[in-house]
Amino acid sequence: MRVLKLLLPGLHIKRWLGLTLVGLVVLALGLAYLFVDLYRTLTLPFEASYLTLQFVPRWLRGVLFLLAGLAVTSYAVWRLNRGLLAPLAPRDGGVNLVDALVAFRQRERGPKIVVIGGGTGLSTMLRGLKHHSANITAIVTVADDGGSSGRLRREMGVLPPGDFRNCLVALADAEPLMSKLFQYRFSQGGLEGHSFGNLFIVAMSGITGNFEEAIREASRVLAVRGQILPSTLANVTLCAELSDDEHVRGESKISEATRPIRRVYLLPERPAAFPEAVRAILDANMVVLGPGSLYTSILPNLLVSGIAKALTSTEALRVYVCNVATQPGETDEFRVSDHVRALMSHVPGDAIDVVLANDNVEGAIKPEWGVKHVVADRAGMPADGPELALYDVVDPRNALRHSPEKLADAIMDVYGQRGEDTIATAQAITATSA
């Protein structure tokens, strides 16, 4: 039996098991002195009388043995637990095992959160949210065709792994060295430009037979909190129609266009949604869109009809996180209301409940960067559109980015204020219509 392996030499287990037994015997003796008339009818040898403190009053003997038994048993159990749990303790020494256990249980009880997007914005969101809930699902765009991901997509016929790699690292609970390994990018030779994580995912795809299973196995290697899913398994190409009627093909080319974007669309136009992604949205307590590039990271997921339909059908609280800065070639001069109108023009029906935007515009953005703060214009929001919630979510080290911690806190605050009410209202409507 496996339990008998605990008795093997060198495990530092047997001594504490023995001491626990001794403590229980002493504890039982103390209880017997207090509640059982055993020793009034028995004559004990001198040695036993001495060891059992027969020379002191009976009630005092009971109290002394009871306290001694509790002390010995408690100490032995404590040392036994330390020996058994030592392999599970955090190796960096920065977190107490008890604190880690409490945090783990709190995350396990966290809400079911689905985050939809791509690029650095998605990984920023996940990096903060993983400390609030372990029930996270990231739904990732598969339209990326640039850099290492684009090369692997064209040469190996796989889905672009770059955004999946970033999500894996963001949600990872593994050693920092393993995360750095996945992000390592080769700088010379035939592998120049490729990251180790991208190559690992592609290799795992060959071993497991499909891309989605490769992501699951990579998640196990990195001890990922949550799951990472593609919005579709189809080989899609993102296209854009510009303001001058020109059509641009390819995600990497869209942001290079110098004219405003009128709309974006996928080829083929109706790719099938990944079933697990649809199921996650329908089962969620909260669905978060963004942050990230509006036209090239967020909308490509929503252009998958099954994803859009699930978003409009779910009873979850639906939150759109607007970027803190404009993006050259995509959202130049955009305000928060412009982001919302562009999103609503691509997704049919009521798809957003709350827009979370930044209200801290004091961060330094240099003119040469070619970007501006996205202004939260409450008056410009659609009259029948979503509610606007303003928070300071800017990273103090980079005025162009969200702070993972601030953003996650804001998201959880929005959920705490509106999430349960939204779900309860939707359930009431469903029950009434039924």
For residues 254 and 287, membership in a common domain is answered with yes
- Comparing 75 with 419, the larger pLDDT belongs to 75
Q: Which residue has the higher pLDDT, 375 or 424?
A: 375
**What's the one-letter identity of residue 41?**
T
State the first-to-last Cα distance of the chain, in angstroms, to the nearest integer: 55
pLDDT at 41: 54
Burial class (CB in 10 A: 0-12, 13-18, 19+), 7: exposed
| pLDDT of residue 46 exceeding 80 | no
pLDDT higher than threshold 60 for residue 215: yes
Q: Which of 254, 220, 226, 256 is nearest to 238 (CA)?
A: 254
- Rounded to whole angstroms, how far apart are CA atoms 179 and 183? 6
Domain assignment present for residue 151? The answer is: no
93 domain residue, yes or no: no
Tokens of 20: 């626990």
At 257, phi and psi to the nearest 5? Answer: -70, 145
Q: Are residues 32 and 120 in the same domain?
A: no
Domain count, the chain: 2
Mean pLDDT of 333-339: 95
Residue 121's closest CA among 129, 113, 110? 129
Q: Judge whether 92 lies within some domain.
A: no
Position 111 scores a pLDDT of 95
- Categorize the per-residue pLDDT at 48 as very low, low, confident or very high, splitting at 50, 70 and 90: low
Would you call 267 helix, strand, or coil by DSSP? strand
Whether residue 282 lies inside any domain: the answer is yes
Instruction: Give the C-alpha separation, 111 to 52, whole Å.
Output: 56
| Calpha distance 357→343 (Å, rounded) | 15
Q: What is the pLDDT of residue 35?
A: 78
Same domain, 294 and 242: yes
Same-domain check for residues 58 and 118: no
Residue with tokens 């979503």: 386
Domain assignment present for residue 189? The answer is no
- Give the largest Cα separation in the chain, rounded: 109
| pLDDT beyond 70 at 272 | yes
Same domain, 6 and 108: no
Indicate whether 119 and 18 sit together in one domain. Answer: no
Q: Are residues 119 and 59 in the same domain?
A: no
Helices (H) and strands (E) in the chain, counts: 17, 12
The whole-number average pLDDT for the span 179-201 is 93
Coil, strand or helix at 93: coil
* Residues forming beta bridges with residue 3, ordered by sequence position: none
For residue 168, give Cα distances in angstroms to 162, 226, 370.
10, 10, 31
Of the pLDDT bands very low, low, confident and very high (cuts 50, 70, 90), residue 61 is: confident
Same domain assignment for residues 44 and 117: no
Judging by beta carbons within 10 Å of its beta carbon (0-12, 13-18, 19+), is residue 102 exposed, middle or buried? exposed
Q: Which residues, other chains included, contact 5 with Cβ-Cβ below 8 Å and sequence gap of 6+? A: none
389, 412 in Cβ contact below 8 A? no
Between 179 and 3, the more confident residue is 179
* 226 lies in some domain: no
Contacts of 279 (CB under 8 A, 6+ apart): none
In a domain, 214, yes or no: no
For residues 27 and 136, membership in a common domain is answered with no
Q: Which of 57, 86, 115 is the last residue of a domain?
A: 86
Sequence letter at residue 264: V
Q: Residue 425 pLDDT > 60, yes or no?
A: no
Same domain, 289 and 376: yes
What's the CATH code of the domain at 273?
3.40.50.10680
- Looking only at the bridges linking them, the beta strands covering 398-402 and 394-395 are antiparallel
Q: What confidence tier does 282 reach under pLDDT thresholds 50, 70, 90?
A: very high
Residues 78, 117 within the same domain: no
Quick one: what percent of the chain has pLDDT higher than 90?
59
CA dist 127 → 122, 132, 153, 218, 293 (Å): 9, 10, 26, 17, 18
In angstroms, rounded to a whole number, what is the distance separating the alpha carbons of residues 231 and 273?
A: 6
Residues 53 and 133 both lie in one domain: no
Q: Tokens 């023995």 label which residue? A: 18
Distance, in Å, from the CA atom of 290 to the CA atom of 320, rounded to the nearest integer, reads: 6
pLDDT tens-digit readout, 153-171: 999 999 999 999 999 999 9
- Looking at residue 138, its pLDDT comes to 97
Residue 122 lies in a domain: yes
**Contacts of 263 by beta carbon, 8 Å cutoff, 6+ apart:** 240, 241, 345, 346
Whole-number pLDDT of residue 64:
87
Decide which of 407 and 106 is more confident.
407
Instruction: Name the residue range of residue 50's domain.
Output: 2-86
The Cβ of residue 36 has, within 10 Å, a number of other Cβ atoms equal to 12
